[in-house]
Each structure stands twice: as structure tokens, then as C-alpha cells.
Structure 1
């Protein structure tokens, strides 16, 4: 089989697997007792992502840095935003958690630590990129 045929076969296999997983997800959504609530939540997630998160990340990335680091900043913002949105419902939930194991650790502090790690990793990557891109200085006697 040629390379083009192999790529095409892999593409069809991955596409088929994706369709199977979409079908499983649709089946699981259809089994929910509050189907309308789930569909409203899904629609809200799409609106939140496409209407607020994506434009905000793109705009901040565009305003903050030059072309060389824009992707890195956007990536760090996407990871940080995803972390915040995953933990935010547990942090903002009023009252005690329905399950004692739902909040066994201080989520606020741990979220701040993980966000600091994301920022530190992004900063380290930016520093390495800058270090590699800087012009190499030659000693005075070499020409």
C-alpha cells in the first residue's frame, strides 16, 4: 500500500472511530432523565466557548505579545481557562458538598498553585525560545 493509501486508511479509521464515539455520546445524552436540561447545558457551553472564551483568548494573545510568542500565550491561557472552568463550579457551590469526597482538599489554593505552574512552564518555554533565538557572540579573535 502506498503512503497516500495508508494515510487515507488511517483517516477513515479515525473518522469512523469518531462517528462511533459521537453515537455513544448521543445515546448517553438521550438516556438522561432531564434531556432538556442537558441540551440547554450543552448549548450554553457552546455559546460560552464560541462567544466568550475563544474571542477573549485570541484577543488577549493578540494584544500581549509579538508574533513569536503569541501561540504560547494563547496555549497557556487556554489551559488556565480550562482549569478554572473545571474547578469553578465546585468553588462557587453554596453550602456543603453533597459528597464529602467532592472537596477533600482546598481547591482554591490548589487551583492557584496549578495556575502558577502553568505560568511558570509557559515562562520557561518562552525563555528557552528567547535563548535559542538570540544571536551568538563570537570571541574577539575569531573571524
Structure 2
């Protein structure tokens, strides 16, 4: 109980420090604009797209695996977005020495290939199980 109270007090203190710095630093308008943009981006673009894709995948037999692949691709894109949207080349070439757009596309391709391979393997396994004779299936269950 004491640890919760201490943690809560520290959190409230840090929130107060952050709020005072925000107000005294003159960045309140910028932060409010950024928060409004984040809300519009999420509620106006990201959420409808995710719901629409979920509805499109609802009837597919491998929807769980496809959803997992899309979530993985979305997370990879979210992590790579700052580097992908950077304005021009960095002043220090050693700061970002790799070709990030190409590597991001290769990673997305690897996710797609692995998803297709696992899906194909599952499909072959189920097909093989259906083609086995009935007596063989009974013996395997024991």
C-alpha cells in the first residue's frame, strides 16, 4: 500500500512539473495542435482502415494468421516511419548509413513470405489429414 502511495505521489509530481514546463515554455499551442492531429489521424484514418480490413478478412479461413501478419507489418511501419519520412539526407552520413526504405520493404516482404509459407504448410497438413484413410486417423487419435 505504501509503495502505491509513493508511486502515485511521484507520478502526480512529475505530471505537475511537465504541466508547468508546458505552460511556461510557450509550447501549449503546439502540443494541443499535435494532440488534435493525433486524434484526427487515429479516429479519422487509422481506425476506419483497420476496421475495414478486419471486415474484409472476417470471412477468410486463415483470418487470424493474416491479421497477425498485418499487425506485424503495421508495427514495422510505425517503427520505421520517422526514418522513412525524414526530410532529405542526414548531415552526418554515419547517423543513418543504411537504405531504410529498401530494408523496410524487404522486412515486409519477409513477413508476407513467412505468412504464406505457414499458411501453405497448414493447408497441406489439413489436406493430408483429410486424405488419410479413416482407420489411420482413428489409430493416430489414441
The TM-score by the shorter chain falls in which range? 0.5 to 0.7
Query: Does 1:138 pair with 2:136?
Result: no
Change (3 A) 1:82 1:138: closer
**Which structure's residues are more often helix, by fraction?**
2
- Give the RMSD, CA atoms, in angstroms: 3.8
What residue ranges of structure 1 are gaps of 5+ in the alignment? Answer: 1-12
Shift of 1:107: 0.6
For the pair shown, the structure with the greater C-alpha radius of gyration is 2
TM-score (norm 2): 0.60
1:91 to 84, 88, 92: 84
Aligned residue number for residue 119 of structure 2: 126
Shift of 1:53: 1.9
Counterpart Cα distance in 2 of 1:27 and 1:100: 40
Query: Does 1:44 pair with 2:37?
Result: yes
Aligned residue number for residue 81 of structure 1: 74
| Partner-residue secondary structure (3-state), 1:75 | helix
What residue ranges of structure 2 are gaps of 5+ in the alignment? Answer: none
Higher relative contact order (CA 8 A, sep 6+): 2
Change (3 A) 1:102 1:39: farther
TM-score (norm 1): 0.60
- Asked if the contact 1:91–1:107 (Cα under 8 Å) also holds between the matched residues in 2, the reply is yes
* Larger displacement relative to structure 2 (106-115 or 73-82): 73-82
Shift of 1:76: 1.8
CA deviation vs aligned residue, 1:16-39 (integer Å, no higher than 9, x gap): x9x89x869956864465343234
| Partner-residue secondary structure (3-state), 2:130 | coil
